Structure 1
Amino acid sequence: MRLIRLFPDDSNFRFVRWRAVTFPLSAFIAVMTLVLFMTQGLNYGIDFTGGTLMELQAKSGQADIAKVRETSHSFEVGEVEVQEFGQGGQVSVRFRVQPGGEAAQSKLVSDARRAFEGEYEIRRVETVGPRVSGELVQAGTLGVVLSIMAVLVYLWFRFELNLAIGAIIGTLHDIVLTVGFFLITREEFNMTSIAAILTIVGYSLNETVVVFDRTRELLRKYKNIPTEELLDLSINHTMSRTVMTATTTALSLLALVLFGGQAIQGFANVMLYGVIICTYSAIFVSTPMLIYLGVKTSARAAADAKADAAAREAASRAPAAPRGMA
């Protein structure tokens, strides 16, 4: 019985030629990510900034955001962020770290409870001190850096130099565009976001390794075809697997986005975007990049070397230009 195929086995699409569009597009998004990061920064969650987060549920089913914001500012505790989320009158109220320390933070929570408990059900109260948030920032940053370094070392030993560099470029590309997602959508960046980024790094590595393994096999098998055609062939050969993996993963994440609830919705949103970016990167960024990293078939490399030798010999035989008369 023939298995279901989401992509035809005998496909011959010219993916590599789209690099004239995808390279400038990725470069533009990367530059915009850098600009947004330098100008407005990430929307750090309470894990990193410290403070108190309260999630409220309106007992009437309809939240009065203006009244919640007015009540929150009446505490005179500095900047307060009030946002409506989900459906059915759900509100999040975020208070910054108070200068009075733990006692001041506890008093703020008590005052807020008394002010809101009449009209709202208090679903969650989460308090993080400045010292704890600083430690979380250091631990999260260190975890991301070490994981990326481990991935780069693995790629360096897994492939030849030019293939390894292409895989490294693809992985860094996916990380940068994922950070761009946080900057553009203003999705809260917290410890769950760190977990999402690390998961996306693993997914990106998996997609790139599959295509590059096939590229390495075809480099040994086909020695007389153009490099672009060989790279297109490697993408087409692995496209069924790529489409199947991306589709099943995306459907699972879409279910989490729609029905998973507020607790994991942020993680699911980032992962769904990451699956799309990683699939795009493996096809339209990492693999075409190999052209500029010197990946060639044996015949093409020999032809290029022969052409270079002929050009040098012709240059050496050319008569010297006559000197001008004094």
Structure 2
Amino acid sequence: MALRLIPDNVNIDFIQYGKVTLLLSGILTILLPLFTFIYGINLGVDFTGGVLMEVKSEENFSIADINKQLTEKGVTGFTAQSLKSNHMVIRFKDDHDISNEILIKKIKEALEEKLKDITYRKIDYVGPQVSSKQIIKGVISIVTALIGIFFYIWFRFNWQFSLGSVIALVHDVVLVLWFISITNIEFNLSSIAALLTVIGYSINDSVIIYDRIRENLKKLKNKPLQEIINTSINSTLSRTILTSGTTLLASIPLMLICTGTVKDFSTIIFFGVLAGTYSSIFISAPVLIYNKKSC
């Protein structure tokens, strides 16, 4: 027997909250970018430039010990991340006063004083020109995804559905960027990947609801559009909760157990799924009410 968290006869009037949720989301979409700009985003080496070192040692160590050792030796502005047993990555933003050669030498001396049999598997320098290109490519990838989704939904449904979906996605992106800002998560290429994942998840949820709305527009021709949209959201609510819930449950162990990039990625996904589920129900669907003549 199929698992149903929501009874078949549930009838929540989501659209009655449409004006409030759209107004609230509109205010947040306008104000949060301003807050994010003022508060700032913790850009990673991928976007600021700097030094990345991949180190392996035959001796067991902890990231806490490495942090303490480097700090005691006067090395600052770094992020150490454990990849696996005896294997770590150290990132330095390009905001130090000394040259990269002197910095790398200083790091090596500090590490070799603490650990034995060290192998430097990779030492890369990301220059300002490369990092600026990464920022441009990241913005282009997000904008391209939004434009592509707009035309896909337009082709599959119509432009009114496209407009609702893109408004919801812009809302999700703004909220996730604000979340990254207030939590001081390092914004790097993994964060861009997480943002694109959230966009894909959110639009998938919206498409499920849109598909049910399109079916009900044919079946319930004599019903008001508000009732049709409510019926469609309620009939897909169980599926939405199960899909969102399993995704959130999968993210929680990664958030609690992992560290570094994996933890940041899963944290962004966790918040993004919540934002995407909310926008699919309370933004993308209610927007159709204001385009009812063309739906």
Distance 2:178 2:12 in 1: 29
Identify which of 107, 111, 123 aligns with 1:112: 107
Distance change in 2, residues 1:84/1:49 (3 Å) = closer
Q: Which amino acid aligns with 1:149?
A: I
The answer for unaligned runs of 5 or more in structure 2 is 83-87
Q: Which residue of 2 aligns with 1:50?
A: 49
Q: CA deviation at 1:117?
A: 3.9
1:72 aligns with 2:71: no
Question: Which aligned pairs between 1:84-233 and structure 2 lie closer than 5 A?
Answer: 94-96=92-94, 104-119=99-114, 127-233=125-231
**Secondary structure at 1:118 match in 2:** helix
Q: CA deviation at 1:98?
A: 6.1
Larger Rg: 1
TM-score normalised over the length of structure 1: 0.75
Q: Which amino acid aligns with 2:238?
A: S
Q: Which residue of 2 aligns with 1:247?
A: 245
Distance 1:206 1:42 in 2: 28
TM-score normalised over the length of structure 2: 0.82
Distance 1:61 1:192 in 2: 21
Q: Which amino acid aligns with 1:214?
A: R
Distance change in 2, residues 1:59/1:197 (3 Å) = closer
- Deviation track 1:7-44 (CA, whole Å, cap 9, x = no partner) reads 21221111222234423332333233211233233211
Q: Which residue of 2 aligns with 1:19?
A: 18
- Deviation track 1:66-114 (CA, whole Å, cap 9, x = no partner) reads 88546336xxxxxx4256889xxx99663425688xxx31331111221
**Secondary structure at 1:52 match in 2:** strand
The answer for unaligned runs of 5 or more in structure 1 is 74-79, 298-326
Question: Which aligned pairs between 1:224-303 and structure 2 lie closer than 5 A?
Answer: 224-294=222-292
Distance 1:161 1:128 in 2: 42
Distance 2:208 2:146 in 1: 19
**Secondary structure at 2:92 match in 1:** strand
Distance change in 2, residues 1:199/1:60 (3 Å) = closer
The answer to whether the 8 A contact 1:69-1:82 is kept is: no
Question: Which deviates more, 133-142 or 179-188?
Answer: 133-142
Query: Which of 1 and 2 has higher RCO (CA within 8 Å, sep 6+)?
Result: 2
Distance change in 2, residues 1:62/1:187 (3 Å) = closer
Q: Which amino acid aligns with 2:30?
A: V
The answer to whether the 8 A contact 1:42-1:189 is kept is: yes
Question: Which deviates more, 57-66 or 270-279?
Answer: 57-66
**Secondary structure at 2:113 match in 1:** coil
**Secondary structure at 2:73 match in 1:** helix
Distance change in 2, residues 1:95/1:61 (3 Å) = closer
Q: Which residue of 2 aligns with 1:36?
A: 35
Cα root mean square deviation, aligned:
3.2
Distance 1:163 1:96 in 2: 44
Question: Which deviates more, 239-248 or 34-43?
Answer: 34-43
Question: Which deviates more, 90-99 or 274-283?
Answer: 90-99
Distance 1:105 1:236 in 2: 58
Q: Which amino acid aligns with 1:9?
A: D
Distance 1:55 1:31 in 2: 41
